[in-house]
Amino acid sequence: MEAATAPEVAAESKLKVKEASPADAEGPQASPGQEAGSPTLQLLPLIEEHPKIWLPRALRQTYIRKVGDTVNLLIPFQGKPKPQATWTHDGCALDTSRVSVRNGERDSILFIREAQRADSGRYQLRVQLGGLEATATIDILVIERPGPPQSIKLVDVWGFNATLEWTPPQDTGNTALLGYTVQKADTKSGLWFTVLEHYHRTSCVVSDLIIGNSYAFRVFAENQCGLSETAPITTDLAHIQKAATVYKTKGFAQRDFSEAPKFTQPLADCTTVTGYNTQLFCCVRASPRPKIIWLKNKMDIQGNPKYRALTHLGICSLEIRKPGPFDGGIYTCKAVNALGEASVDCRVDVKVPN
């Protein structure tokens, strides 16, 4: 930490005048001829500047540091000739094994390399010059993270909510608590999520839990240094139960999808050239699946190797392989099932190339 600097104005300091003593002054000794009992002449040192302490503004209130931090305070003062500066801690002498002091002509430095909680307390700087003195007081507070709450308990679970209770930590870290942080974790992911921060009570209700999940909870204590390093975890899990659901099936009439054959796309007339394969297409809808029969000039051509008939998803096709002059005529596609039949026709002309 950097040393504190002097403010623009001097802090009020206590100034006292002590009664003169033989040690405070040097004077001529009484001559042998002087009568016994006559007063001795004492000379006080010449004080050119009265002692006064300039306390930095930042040190006029409690000076807070964390455990392990460095304390380095520079306190300016005045006084001429050079005054004597001394420090005390809670009215006692400083522990020189932990605290070091350096006094200069115009300032005094208090230094602690690694502050501990035992270094907290009231430090007083006294500046003396002759029979005059000035004092300044600095309150130092060394803090650290608090301990964890002593215990946490799952009190109740209802609906999508859980009630928790815990007890405060035994060690607050030498300062007041700022509150508690409550976290939850579901057993499926194991990840912790914060649900409450800076919470001041020792009981709470955690809401909006997901149905069907099980949750554990933990609580951290918090002070000016941060959260406690550990946190107690609930021994019991909060099981968010699924509500029993009764499904009532509604009766419905079975729909009859039976249908007599019906062509949705008829055959189209076409003209082809001798020797080039030709295909005829049409579409039919029926339930149950109909039987497809192809005719040429009202004659059944099923099984004739010159023709290839296919039916897939209601699409009927007929391929005429390398037609000749005698393959022209009227082609018919007939669909038959138990509910009826339907048919479509087309004309096919076969031309001889010139």
Give the model's pLDDT for residue 44: 54
Give the model's pLDDT for residue 48: 78
pTM of the model: 0.54
Residue 213 phi, psi dihedral angles, 5° rounding = -100, 160
Contact present, 110 and 39 (Cβ < 8 Å): no
Using DSSP bridges, classify how beta strands 192-199 and 179-186 pair: parallel, antiparallel or unpaired: antiparallel
Cα-based angle 191, 192, 195 (whole degrees, multiple of 5): 140
Each residue's pLDDT tens digit, 63-97: 999 999 999 999 999 988 889 999 999 999 999 89
Give the model's pLDDT for residue 28: 39
With the C-alpha atoms ordered 122, 127, 133, 134, is the resulting torsion angle positive or negative? negative
Specify the DSSP element, H or E, that contains 1: none
Give the model's pLDDT for residue 209: 92
Residue 34, pLDDT above cutoff 70: no
- pLDDT band for position 9 (50/70/90)? very low
Q: Which of 22-26, 124-128, 252-256, 338-342 has the least mean pLDDT?
A: 22-26
- pLDDT band for position 317 (50/70/90)? very high
Cα-based angle 9, 59, 128 (whole degrees, multiple of 5): 70
The class level of CATH for 49-143 reads mainly beta
Return the domain boundaries, the chain.
49-143, 150-250, 259-351
Residue 19, pLDDT above cutoff 50: no
Each residue's pLDDT tens digit, 106-121: 999 999 999 999 999 9
Contact present, 145 and 155 (Cβ < 8 Å): no
Distance CA 344, CA 335 (A): 9
Return the CATH superfamily for domain 150-250.
Immunoglobulins (2.60.40.10)
Each residue's pLDDT tens digit, 257-314: 889 999 999 999 999 999 889 999 999 999 999 999 999 999 999 888 899 999 999 9
The dotted CATH code for 259-351 is 2.60.40.10
CA proximity to 205, closest of 25, 105, 215? 215
Each residue's pLDDT tens digit, 224-250: 999 999 999 999 999 988 776 677 777
